[in-house]
Structure 1
Amino acid sequence: MGALSSRLSWVLSLVVSVLLAAPAHAGASLTAKALTVPGATLQQLTLAVTPADTGGLRLQLDAARADVPAMGWRRVGLHLDALLQRDPQGRWVLDGPLQLLRAPGAALSDATISLQVDQAANTLLVDLRQGKARATTAVPLDQPTHAQIELKNLPFGWLQGLIGTVWSGRATGGRVNALVALDRRTDGIQASGQFDLSALGFDSPTGKLAAQGLGGGGRFTLNTADGPASINLESTLRGGELLLGPIYANLPDHAVQLSLDAQARGGAITVSRLRVGDPDAMQLRGAIAFNAKGDLASLNLSQLQLSLPMAYQRYGRAWLATYGLRDMTARGQLSATLDLREDGLHAFDFDTDGVDLADADGRLAVVGLRGGLDWSRSGRRQATNLSWQSLGLYRLMHGSATSHWQSENGVLSLQQPVSMSLLGGQVRISDLDWAPAAAKGQRLDTSMAVSGVDMAAFSRTMGWPQFPGTLGGAITGLSVSGDRVVLTGGLSLNVFGGFVDITGLALQQPFGDNPVLAGDIALRQLDLGAITSVFDFGSITGPLDGHVNGLRLVNWQPVAFDAQLLASQGGRISQRAVNNLTSVGGGGVAAGLQGAVLKLFKTFGYDRIGLNCRLQGSVCHMSGLEPTADGYTIVDGSGLPHLNVIGHQAEVDWPTLIRRLKAAIDGNAPVVR
């Protein structure tokens, strides 16, 4: 706005100078195809001067196009209709309406101007007003490149043209008060002063740099004349929201200290010195840079001190939500440093005397975290210890442990095995090497074992029906690529007198909104009597084998698998289990066995039971032991009465099948008649 006032001052000063040198007479007019003054060019210019009824001269100035490069103005129209006269002190005074057309931010679209030329004081004074906004500029007549400017209640959008000369963003709201000293140079401006802001807003083309509702004040210097545009800022902010790449800040009402040195070129922004001081939340010193697209290019934090929960609530909530960690509770203090460059992560460390964290969905929880980690891309760093009282992952709470770490040549290594209790059993991490700067898929190498986990406690924790048994197994390798975790080795559940072996595990977006789990499951010699008693399906005896291959869960709900269940060694099946199997398969009892006869027997012998489901999308493609003329055999009976159960539905909607299974377990399945 200061540059705006000074440019208009130069144009009007030129007009007044012409009038002083050659007194105007009635009907004087001037036209010019182009007129160039320092810092500005006017095209298709017309000037008409006529006597005013009240004395003095009426001055009408129009320019079809005004270009002011330092202000970022192109093709701005200008119209002035004012009264020019001398006051009792002999000063030239000009008053009247001023309109600019197509100015960035609609600046001065319906303004009034008061201009005073005081040759004795060597001063040109310009006062511009529109609504509540006011800009007052004082320019020495013998040094028109310098101006002293006072802005009151100025719409921030009026500075859009000036912002556009150093950055691709745009002003979206707010008002500015300022006292500024401004000097025009050949290729830009130099300015310094003090300011205060209210409800300030801005945005970038990519939406990655933005703010709204910012308040505050401070001092600044701005230089757009010597190389990249540079700014020095010493300020305090109060309230509002600020987005800087991945970092979203919800600022408090009390003062937050912000100081920086920044440079801008070609839309890219480099903050070479950054300091933030929020007394009860965060202290930060470092540097940050963004490329022309608004993406984070580098981040160096030489000091970061966080006080939780305030630091999380104001600065960490949105960032952690991108990793699926929402509505966290947090307590404690943490200090850290970080060196992130264009070619990746170079170093980090953190240390704490005690931090508690937990997300609302139970995906991550840690109590009594103490110590820290220290990693560098090169060289050897000091050894560190990290301990916790309890560590929870997906509602599974592990016991206390202390881990010992050492960073060397870019690899952070676990120095000793770590053991943690888990639901009556134990999790043991034998070794772990983490290389944060390595290529994707090569960043993590670990092996661990699980033993003796109580499946009854596990099932209670997961909200499943409780069943006895133990969980154990070994993970011989683990790789991380992007947000995908792939495990080699497997887990084995010793349940229901047999084994459930899980292999080929892969987990994508483990803390995201829709985590994806994939794997294969093999069933070996499970006791059907124990299974059906736990799930209240109706009694079936005998061993069960089978598999669930290509299992894929999205947000823990199955979307694909190929399951085959087979009881091939014979046994007994209850009347209720017959009814439930019939309901699941959408079939009936074969061989003319009537409901009246069926009710005479509590159990039936069987030779084989087989049921298969291949889930694709939301449809389960079902089959059994072998096909029949009108379906497939589910139960192949043995002895008298001889019982066969036939399934007739080859394709069943998955939600419908789930409802049938739930009804069977709840005892609401239809009775065979």
Structure 2
Amino acid sequence: MLGGVVLATAVRAVDDVTLHIERVDGDGWSASDVAVDLGLPEKNALVRARVGKLNVPALSQTLTDVRIECPSLDVSGDVIACAKARVLADWPALGKQSLDARLSYGRADGSLDVALQGLRVGDGRIALQGTLRDAGWNAKVRLQRVPIDRLMKLAADLKAPVPELTATGLADLDIVARGKQTNLGEAKVTGALLELTANNEEGSLASDKLSLHVDASVRGSAQQWTFDVAVKSSQGQAFAQPIFVDLSAHAMSLRAQGKLTDGKSLTLDRFTLDHADVAQVSGRGRLQLDLEQPLRDVDVELSSLTFPGAYESYLQPLLIDTNFKSLQTAGSIGGKLSMADGEPRRIDLRFNDVTFDDGAGNLNLSTLSGDWHWLADATGDDSDEDDAPPSRTMQVAPSQLKWQGGALLGLDLGASELNFSTQGRQFRLTQPARIPLLDGSIDLETFRVRNAGLPGVAFLVDATLQPVSVQKLCKAFGWPEFGGRIGGAISKLRMREGIVTLGTTLRAQVFNGEVTISDLRLEQPFGQWPRFYSSIALNNLDLEPMTSAFSFGRITGRLSGAINGLELFNWTPIAFDARLYTPPDDRSRHRISQRAVENIGSIGGGGAGVTAALSSGFLRFFDDFNYDRLGISCRLHNEVCVMDGVAPAANGNYYLVKGQGMPRIDVIGSSRRVDWPRLVEQLLAATQSEGPVLQ
């Protein structure tokens, strides 16, 4: 349609015509300030046209100073066409362009068919074939090694949604699309993105020399889009905080089909992920993108999660700041998982010879196998009484896990099997279990957990510790090694409202005697400031292996006593009433070395006198001495230790060691009130020093 005033000027009568057109409106385009020069030879028309402004709403762009040269114009009753046109245009997003074109204008309907070759974008090229007809458009676009950064800028200029990324790389793509004005109705994209290196401002997304093959189609309207997307990659690296994947080592293919509604609700009717030697996953899901936790409904079938690939790709980045950042792993996991309304609903996993080892003995489990089943919304025992029997039948399938061996915190574990059930936030051992530990074992009779992961978590344990070598236990923890065995019953070890209590007494056979722990209580075990209470009784311990283990100096004889009202704050003693002494009925040989004499003397404030006595006179010729009895007491309160010994001495002092026979030495303490931190320093020095050297 011609809108405006048409002025025709005849030059040389029948050879040349110049037209000036104020405005031309077509179907989906308009042009203004148009000048057309027509050459009229015998057979063909030579045409040169200049367009001041060409507006194509589908491109969201206005092109300026468009020049078209057609060596042979084809004019008929229906169309005006040029098969071999040359077009020069100033495109706002791309700059000045010189293109080969095929143009066709429908005289009756105002339609426009255009085919452009040689559109330059950086060092890349774009070929475009498009039709504007019946208020709609169709386009075919081929991108050949187009720089991705320029392509993203072009998309932004065209007001297309693009991610907020800084990116480099190349695009080789074929795009077929149709729509109306600025609205896309349908599109299909095939091709590749090459050496894509991208990152967002936050640093949470990044890639390095990533190459992707893309096959995608979308269809719909502004309210709802359906899509079918397939992506494959075997080159480069990608990072989506905190997950890093090396696609050169583990190629990946992903396909997803679904729809996006109102730009917020994403439904995946079907998705599959094949991550070579890492994971094979399929399923369906629904995401609500405007929610803080967008994942709403998911059904996932995990064909295989394969180690070590799965650990290196998915788990290791999550553990990089922990002691488990360098695990050696093997095996695989398969199963199913589901979520509903944003909450986990069901987990069914099969472990196939899974092994993980931190290399330091802190965490090592060999060939873990079996099934784990979990259901939400427990319908089993919700009783507040930990030892109450279940009131309803658990609906979840029974679980069973077994392993061939391993280690935990340096403690060797033997082959074991656990039969249990998990539902909601509850765990219940369904059969007694025996876990070999060092040269003994832990025999679990009862193990239940309620409210796992909540502040109100509670548990109950009934178990028997079959005697374990104290020497092996100390070696595992890096403590001074000494003999004996530790074992006993652990009855009603429970936690309620953040407080751990023990309903029985623990007994350990150490140093050829017995240590008893009672009234155990632990508050805030997982808090910042745990507080521990107990009372400890020592009965007839052999001093010789005990003092040798702690490098205190050699003492022979027996020791009994008690540490009552022990209270630790953040694992530091703040109160107790302790008394250690030689048992009245001890008939064993009593000998004490020079080093032990001096260390005991320094604790009681008489160190200078003891050292002087050992360094002068005939006592310096003896390595050890006889004693009748020894003992010490300390009542700790407000960082002050009120001290006493085994018997009173002159001038208000007290005996720490009361000698007898020949050679004989007495160690007398004079300090009744001792600063506790200073006393701890003296005790540590006494166990770590090499002892006095006598001349």
Fold shared, TM-score > 0.5 on shorter chain: yes
SS across alignment from 2:146: strand
Distance in 2 (alpha carbons) for counterparts of 1:291 and 1:478 = 43
2:41 aligned residue: none
Q: Residue 454 of structure 1 contacts residue 469 of structure 1 at CA under 8 Å; is this kept in 2?
A: yes
TM-superposed deviation, 1:151: 1.9
Task: Name the CA shift for 1:186/1:428 in 2 (closer, same or farther; >3 Å).
Answer: farther
The residue type paired with residue 256 of structure 2 is L
Distance in 1 (alpha carbons) for counterparts of 2:303 and 2:490 = 38
Task: Name the CA shift for 1:535/1:442 in 2 (closer, same or farther; >3 Å).
Answer: closer
TM-score by length of 1: 0.72
2:492 aligned residue: 476
The residue type paired with residue 175 of structure 1 is L
2:594 aligned residue: 575
TM-superposed deviation, 1:352: 3.4
TM-superposed deviation, 1:460: 1.6
The residue type paired with residue 122 of structure 2 is G
Distance in 2 (alpha carbons) for counterparts of 1:647 and 1:672 = 29
Q: 1:465 aligns with which of 464, 467, 480?
A: 480
SS across alignment from 1:465: coil
Task: Name the CA shift for 1:447/1:642 in 2 (closer, same or farther; >3 Å).
Answer: closer
Q: Residue 436 of structure 1 contacts residue 443 of structure 1 at CA under 8 Å; is this kept in 2?
A: yes
Q: Residue 124 of structure 1 contacts residue 138 of structure 1 at CA under 8 Å; is this kept in 2?
A: yes
Q: Is 1:192 aligned to residue 176 of structure 2?
A: no
SS across alignment from 1:460: helix
1:452 aligned residue: 467
Q: Residue 376 of structure 1 contacts residue 408 of structure 1 at CA under 8 Å; is this kept in 2?
A: yes
2:104 aligned residue: 119
2:273 aligned residue: 276
Distance in 1 (alpha carbons) for counterparts of 2:360 and 2:96 = 56
1:84 aligned residue: 67
Q: For 1:85-234, what aligned pairs fall within 5 Å after superposition?
A: 85-90=68-73, 91=82, 93-96=86-89, 98-100=91-93, 108=94, 112=97, 114=99, 116=101, 118-119=103-104, 122-126=112-116, 127-142=118-133, 145-157=137-149, 158-159=151-152, 170=165, 172-185=167-180, 188-189=183-184, 190-200=186-196, 211-223=207-219, 225-234=221-230
1:545 aligned residue: 562
Distance in 1 (alpha carbons) for counterparts of 2:508 and 2:580 = 22
SS across alignment from 1:85: strand
1:8 aligned residue: none
Task: Name the CA shift for 1:320/1:262 in 2 (closer, same or farther; >3 Å).
Answer: farther
TM-superposed deviation, 1:580: 4.0
Task: Name the CA shift for 1:167/1:135 in 2 (closer, same or farther; >3 Å).
Answer: closer
TM-superposed deviation, 1:455: 1.2
Deviations 1:446-481 (A, max 9, x none): 543323122111112222221223333416355699
Deviations 1:471-527 (A, max 9, x none): 33416355699xx996755855432323163844589789xxxx9987446432263
SS across alignment from 2:255: strand
SS across alignment from 2:71: coil
Distance in 2 (alpha carbons) for counterparts of 1:525 and 1:280 = 57
TM-superposed deviation, 1:365: 1.9
RMSD of aligned C-alpha atoms?
Answer: 5.3
Q: Is 1:330 aligned to residue 348 of structure 2?
A: no
Task: Name the CA shift for 1:667/1:347 in 2 (closer, same or farther; >3 Å).
Answer: same
Bigger relative CO (Cα 8 Å, ≥ 6 apart): 1
The farther-off stretch of 601-610 and 276-285 is 601-610
Distance in 1 (alpha carbons) for counterparts of 2:292 and 2:198 = 13
Q: For 1:237-386, what aligned pairs fall within 5 Å after superposition?
A: 237-242=233-238, 248-253=244-249, 255-264=251-260, 271-287=268-284, 289=287, 291-292=289-290, 295=293, 297-298=295-296, 299-319=298-318, 325-377=324-376, 380-386=395-401
Distance in 2 (alpha carbons) for counterparts of 1:132 and 1:585 = 88
Deviations 1:146-192 (A, max 9, x none): 21111233344443766997687545444332111122347842321
Q: 1:589 aligns with which of 597, 604, 608?
A: 608
TM-score by length of 2: 0.70
Distance in 2 (alpha carbons) for counterparts of 1:375 and 1:342 = 17
Name structure 1 gaps, 5 residues minimum.
1-13, 101-107, 554-559, 616-620, 627-631
Distance in 1 (alpha carbons) for counterparts of 2:486 and 2:570 = 21
Distance in 1 (alpha carbons) for counterparts of 2:147 and 2:690 = 69
User: How many residues were matched structurally?
Assistant: 606
Deviations 1:15-67 (A, max 9, x none): xx9899778999x9999xxx999699xxxx9989999xxx967767699xx9x
Distance in 2 (alpha carbons) for counterparts of 1:593 and 1:134 = 97
